[in-house]
Structure 1
Amino acid sequence: MKQSSLLRSSKQGRRTNSFNLSVIKNKTAMTHHLLKASKETVHLGGFSHLLKPALTIDSGDTVDVETYTGYYVYDKAPPEFVTPEFLDICQNFLPERKIAGGPHLLTGPIYIRDAEPGDVLEVQLDAIAPSVPVGFNAIRPGWGALRHQFPQPALRFIPLDLANNIAEFPAGAGIKIPLKPFFGILGVATPETSRTSVPPGSYGGNIDNRELQAGSRLFLPIFVPGALFSIGDGHSAQGDGEVNVTAIETSMNGRITLKLRKDLKLTTPIAETPTHIITMGFAQTLDEALELALKNMIDFLERFANLSPEDAYVLCSLAVNFHITQVVNSPQKGVHGMLAKSILSNTVNL
């Protein structure tokens, strides 16, 4: 049976500064859902297959999803950062929805009907936009690439110019950072009762890959019935490495389409942007993470471009760019390889 192409063109999702969270009726069989963040639909600190789903959908459905960030700093934030809905979550959080000690407030999980272990979840990122005009950056003691050089905690709130899609930092310096919003955490539950949200892994999670902007797709292995997908950790801007532990952390709205891929088998996440295929490696050292990202790219080229292992290895040296995704989500560092789709033939299929 001919299978669908991973490399078909992907229309770039339009980013807006005031994303509309309204439910949309569709003439097709697929359904559009609204998943607002509330104390009943968020969870804190990690992933668990024991969590009650916040939403149940069918494969191919689209979800307008709302996420908040900054649970542990809301009481220090300016008024623009703390909406009434976010304040209600923070002040009336349900203890049973705290999973582990991670700092991330996630929306979900979303249960996808008929999803089974061994399937793959395709997460199509249709639109992503900040929902408030301010984000924060925090240095946390004992964390970061230079934790010994910068041991003191520091919290900065950074205004976002949503009209011009920039953030000036430091204030008054004239240094203007383009806003390129994405979700740092996109992940599914695993058989473990409790898994912290800090490190990424085969389930996705805290990937912190700035390439996963609107118009991209992420493919995640499924480990438990229903997949139990959660999303959050919005970033308005981040450099590769995320070296001081955080990006511009921002409450974020998005539109996602979730599809089951029973025709595809994966053991680790893979992604597609409008221009590139991305493989990932997560490990305790950058050397190990690079090795895994490279092996995953070779595997992709073997399976989907019909190259021999040696030819794939050579092509990676000639044409694949490897980037440091992040070095701070202890104990896992991340490296991702980027292969330009423009160099591939039209015969590359899943």
Structure 2
Amino acid sequence: MNDFKILTVRPEPDQYAWTFGGTPPLARITPGTVLDLFTEDCFAGNVRSEKDLVSEVCEFPFLNPQTGPFHVEGAEPGDTVAVHFVSIEPARDWAASTTVPLFGALTSTHSTASLQAPLPEAVWIWHLDRARRTAQFSARDSDFQIELPMDPMHGTVGVAPANLEVRSALVPDAHGGNMDTPEMRAGVTCYLGVNVDGALLSLGDGHARQGEGETCGVAVECAMNTVVIVDLLKGVSTPWPRLESDTHIISTGSARPLEDAFRISQLDLVQWLVRDYGFSELDAYQFATQTVESPLANVCDTNYTCVAKIRKEWLPARETHRGLHARLRQISAALPRSASLPLSAPRSRGSDHRPP
């Protein structure tokens, strides 16, 4: 492939989407387009120091801004949009994490109400060494510090929901959204079922790293320079978001309670084995039971998200999703350096600030 359609998008502060569905497209693209994007962090760049408490500098529900949506030409209900992550690179030398009152897995919430007082608000600024690929944790209440490896990912990727719904960018569900799975990293292809004409694809919520479960509700949140290739599978349905890496096929499920999210992801994986790998339903159920890895994505959002993944080396030699992941990997490798290297962030509020 010699001709690359590359669209560079650096949104102005008033151009972000805050929902999936209900937002007009930022641009129209054809399948095969390379998107070179800047995404703002979940705080819209407003948490920049330990003094910036979310309750004071952020305005609910305007959290988790998304870059998009993008209308994918030819996408119709019953099709699948494929998003291949070429690169995900922090746009700044710092990231922020917080505790938020009445939010997180280990505190009272609006859904799990109790007489306990909310946890106090606190902010941690993580210093990123982009050359060395490290993120430095500094304890607030002691002198403990440690450098951890960066593992950049996108917490939120999705399309417009079905049935005329509009969903907050904080919500994960069958349309994708705020799934917060660390599996959404460079080199992975995400498959999303199309619910409306054009799909209306958006992404955001970059994390420099995140543990499984996102227990306190907030990862190492940072702005990202991200390059993706967007393609289209006509006539292929994808009921729940799926991912494919070089080593695994990966199903997701989002719901409350947690066991329902688990069941959805496991069922989707079984159905994937039946559709594309030649298993009967019961054989797939038995095989998945003995081979599946089931990491948590998040246990804090409005819906929880679970993941079910199986190693490709243990599967029959069959093609899935028409071999699109392998083809997109080849295109990714052939991209000109200017489309696959980290790019500078736009000069919007807070974009060039460096905490002391």
Q: 1:177 aligns with which of 108, 124, 148?
A: 148
Q: 1:57 to 1:300 in 2, by over 3 A?
A: same
SS in 2 for 1:228: strand
| TM-fit CA distance, 1:266 | 1.5
Match of 2:200 in 1: 228
Residue 248 of structure 1 corresponds to which residue in structure 2? 220
Residue 147 (structure 1) shift: 1.1
Match of 2:304 among 333, 339, 347: 333
1:167 matched to 2:105? The reply is: no
Q: CA deviation at 1:153?
A: 1.5
1:69 lines up with 2:41 in the alignment: yes
| Residue 33 (1) aligns with residue 1 (2) | no
By how many angstroms is 1:216 displaced? Answer: 0.2
Asked if 1 retains the 8 angstrom alpha-carbon contact of 2:274 and 2:284, the reply is: yes
Mapped to 1, the partners of 2:74 and 2:320 lie a distance apart of 24
The alpha carbon displacement at 1:174 in A equals 4.1
User: In 2, are the aligned partners of 1:184 and 1:207 still within 8 Å (CA)?
Assistant: yes
Structure 1 counterpart of 2:106, one-letter code: L
**Which structure 1 residue ranges, 5 or more long, are not aligned?**
1-25, 82-89, 92-97
Structure 1-normalised TM-score?
Answer: 0.81
1:153 and 2:126 matched: no
Please state how far the C-alpha of 1:198 moved relative to its aligned partner.
1.4
Shift in Å, 1:102: 5.2
Q: For residue 160 of structure 1, give the secondary structure of its aligned residue in structure 2.
A: strand
Asked if 1 retains the 8 angstrom alpha-carbon contact of 2:291 and 2:310, the reply is: yes
Looking at structure 2, the residues matched to 42 and 178 of structure 1 have their Cα atoms a distance apart, in angstroms, of 29
* Equivalenced residues, count: 304
1:1-350 → structure 2 map (5 Å cutoff): 27-28=2-3, 30-44=4-18, 46-49=19-22, 51-71=23-43, 74=46, 76-78=47-49, 101=61, 103-148=63-108, 151-170=119-138, 173-190=144-161, 191-192=163-164, 194-330=166-302, 332-350=303-321
Could you state the TM-score of these two structures normalised by the residue count of structure 2? 0.80
Q: Give the aligned partner of residue 13 of structure 1.
A: none
Cα distance in 1 for partners of 2:242, 2:278 equals: 18
Contact 1:102-1:198 at 8 Å conserved across structures: no
Q: Which has the higher mean CA deviation after the structures are superposed, 167-176 or 139-148?
A: 167-176
The 8 Å contact of residues 124 and 258 in structure 1, kept in 2 or not, is answered as yes
Residue 131 of structure 1: how far off its partner (Å): 0.4
Offset, 1:65: 0.6
Instruction: Please say if residues 124 and 138 of structure 2, whose CA atoms lie closer than 8 Å, have aligned partners that are also in contact.
Output: no
How far residue 274 of structure 1 moved from its aligned partner, in angstroms, is 1.6
Query: What is aligned with 2:330?
Result: none
Q: Residue 71 of structure 1: CA displacement?
A: 3.8
What is the aligned-residue identity percentage? Answer: 28
Residues 233-291 of structure 1: per-residue CA shift (max 9 Å, x gap): 00000000000001000000111111111041111111101211001111101111111
Q: Deviations over 1:192-244 (max 9, x none)?
A: 36321112011101011101111000000111111111110000000000000
**1:118–1:157: structure 2 CA closer, same or farther, 3 Å change rule?**
same
Distance (Å, rounded) in 2 between the aligned partners of 1:193 and 1:324: 26
Report the Cα distance in structure 2 between the residues aligned to 1:188 and 1:73, rounded to whole angstroms. 23
Structure 2: gaps (5+ residues) = 109-115, 322-356
2:252–2:308 contact (8 Å) kept in structure 1: yes
SS in 1 for 2:129: coil
The CA distance in 2 between the partners of 1:71 and 1:128, in whole Å, is: 18
Whole-angstrom CA distance in 1 between matches of 2:278 and 2:62: 41
Cα RMSD between the aligned structures? 2.3
- CA deviation map 1:128-147 (0-9, x unaligned): 10000101101111111111
